[in-house]
Structure 1
Amino acid sequence: MPSRLLQAESVAIVGLEKNTGKTTFLNYLIEQNRTGQRRLALTSIGYDGEATDLVTKTAKPRIYVPKGTLTATARRLLPRSKVEKDILLLSGIPSSLGEIVIFQTLDDGFVELAGPATIEQTKQLKDMIRALDDEALFIVDGALSRLSSAGHGLAEEIVLCTGASVHPDQTKVLEETVLAAELLQLPVVSLPEDQSKLLAQNDYLIAGDDVRADRFNGPLDITQLIEQVTPSDDLIALNGVITQEMLHELLGVPAIENIRLVGQDPTRFFVDQPTFDRLKRRNILLQVAQASHLALVVVNPSAPRGPGFGPDFLETLKRRIDVPVIDVRRM
């Protein structure tokens, strides 16, 4: 599995919560690349690589990179990155910790990452890195609360990290992980070019015997969309986030069933398991216009506080999802 990730154009490592093994896996991936001679380019949506967790006050693994790594981080963290640096670019992208700076490491050492706050800024940063080295493996460290780091075309491969720090209830974590994995593997639908262009100019599109598209009257107000759906329609596509409340409104109309509901990518859907199950029962099929590829699920069965999970969690998860699952302690 590491070989596939190391051959990708870009990788997003996302966690359901803190302390799920993201940094440990990132260090593992960096170590696996040492013999591959491929340059790495690292950034984060959030703050990663600090020695102590700011919330739990527990020790965290630090990010150790080899000479030549491209690193994009906030200006105020430059002194905390214990490597010799060649500053290549001042990005002009702001953050709460100062402007994002791109530097090359001149020796091996520890770095701390704090990247852009928004997905658009992260895409801009990726373009800047590509201009410096279009062959580098771009790795973004994110969190599932900012699942956008796994969408919007930002990453070719996704690694999902989960474990005992998500919640002390093992069953709850299992269900949350399975749902996240299922959303990250939603099937892709290719809209005809004319429909794609029409959707890009509007908030939603409905297709059946004919095609209609429009903008919402207010933020996330789908009342007018619901009023336009007819029994002959087989597709609803939305340009933007699809919230739990929007899905509940759709489910509140018994006539809306046997239809495809298309989002731009998996990160646009905000849905819990009961709602997801209700959609399935009504044959309202979630699909995406832009695919993502979930390459791996990483499990950290240990928790900063508490007993953690036993080996049965890992084995049950392996049976429930159809992607490789590994224990972060046994890589």
Structure 2
Amino acid sequence: MFVWHEIFGVPPAVITIVGMAKNVGKTVTLNYIQKMFHNEGWVLGLTSIGRDGETFDALTNIAKPLISVQPGIILATAEKVITEPAGWEYLQDTDFKTPLGKVIILRAKSLNKVVLAGPSKNREIQELLQSLAAWGAQCILIDGAFDRQSSADPLVSNQVILATGATVSRDLTELIHATQSRVEQLTLPACSQFYRELSNKSQAKVLIVNAGVPREMSLTTSLLRPVEWSELFGLDCDAVIVKGAVGDGLAQALLRQLRPPKIIVQDASKIFVNPNLWRQLKDHHVQFSAVQTICLLGVTINPTYPGGKGFDAEEILQKMGKVLSPMPVLDIMREAKFK
């Protein structure tokens, strides 16, 4: 079995596992890391953003691996998913509500199979993390929803593991391209202290900065059409601070600029730009940075898609590893790491 510090090189803290799509091995990764921590003697906390761990996927009806909870793990999940109370030590009620009842905190007495159903709001997750730590969790795993990039929000989690695989694309080149783009987004560098202070002082969704002077835009959303972004760029700006989501509209407008401004985002979980546009932005030398950075620990790969077919496991490991190096790239099922 892998050893945590040999793979990732930093102490574990609050770790979110984020999937790029359904069936990319997020649950397999979660189970493996749980077992790794259990073997190494860590007291682990476990919860989720939203629901996971069903026998069959709620959207696709495809059979899924169950979430296995190791003995001693401190778990936060909805009360109605606990079907065998004898396997758990009750610790605490919370005020957080889900469609499956209120979230409760338990300690596993033995190896258990479970459905995770945690809060869906980041603010509630933050409070829940404090409770898990108060009950003795030395590190915490969060099962992030596949369709919510906010799972990687650094205000919630200070470490992220990205799960990718064949269901992202059945073309290996496109899969690697999409994963590389997401890794580049999640590892944006920190912006300068000047832009960080401007962002922290303003409540505006968008700030236009020209010659060091900020101008707040009266906007209710940052998801503007390309023509609307182009109008803002026409105000003469050398930087744009976006505190909301960043979508394809901004990307398309930037590609039309001869001298595109710098773009400062709140954090990389707010970026929703498709891989092809992201690559064009890089070729166009558009500079992105983040007020809050994300610590991406590594990438796990699932070479198969439902039905058992997919890519050659060693080929995808080697090709993905070379592109993402020095980022750790792991095939959890084979316990193989790109070297």
TM-score range, shorter chain: 0.7 to 0.9
Deviation at 1:153, TM superposition (A): 2.5
Structure 1's 71 and 19: CA in aligned 2 closer, same or farther, altered over 3 A? same
What residue in structure 1 maps to residue 213 of structure 2? 211
Deviates more, 1:278-287 or 1:55-64: 55-64
Q: Verify the 8 A CA contact 2:199 2:241 in the aligned structure 1.
A: no
Q: What is the aligned counterpart of 2:56 among 52, 57, 64?
A: 52
Deviates more, 1:58-67 or 1:213-222: 213-222
Q: Verify the 8 A CA contact 1:17 1:165 in the aligned structure 2.
A: yes
Q: Verify the 8 A CA contact 1:17 1:143 in the aligned structure 2.
A: no
Deviation at 1:83, TM superposition (A): 5.7
| 3-state SS of 2:310 partner | coil
TM-score w.r.t. the length of structure 1 is 0.88
Q: Counterparts in 2 of 1:1-331, with a 5 A limit?
A: 2-3=4-5, 4=8, 7-79=11-83, 84-133=87-136, 135-192=137-194, 194-199=197-202, 201-220=203-222, 227=231, 229=233, 233-252=237-256, 254-257=257-260, 259-305=261-307, 307-310=309-312, 311-322=314-325, 323-331=327-335
Deviation at 1:42, TM superposition (A): 0.7
Q: Verify the 8 A CA contact 2:70 2:108 in the aligned structure 1.
A: yes
Structure 1 residue ranges without an equivalent (≥5): none
Q: Verify the 8 A CA contact 1:205 1:211 in the aligned structure 2.
A: no
Structure 1's 212 and 315: CA in aligned 2 closer, same or farther, altered over 3 A? same
Q: Render the CA deviation track for 1:122-165: whole Å, top value 9, x for unaligned.
A: 222223323333x5211111134212111233222211111122
* Residue type of the alignment partner of 1:131: A
Q: Render the CA deviation track for 1:82-110: whole Å, top value 9, x for unaligned.
A: 76222222221122222221212223322
Aligned residues: percent identity?
A: 28
Structure 2 residue ranges without an equivalent (≥5): none
Corresponding pairs, count: 326
* Residue type of the alignment partner of 1:30: Q
Deviation at 1:270, TM superposition (A): 0.8
Structure 1's 184 and 24: CA in aligned 2 closer, same or farther, altered over 3 A? same
* Residue type of the alignment partner of 1:267: S
User: Structure 1: how far apart are the matches of 2:199 and 2:223?
Assistant: 21
Deviates more, 1:283-292 or 1:169-178: 169-178
User: Structure 2: how far apart are the matches of 1:187 and 1:64?
Assistant: 36
TM-score w.r.t. the length of structure 2 is 0.86
Structure 1's 320 and 70: CA in aligned 2 closer, same or farther, altered over 3 A? same
Structure 1's 155 and 211: CA in aligned 2 closer, same or farther, altered over 3 A? same
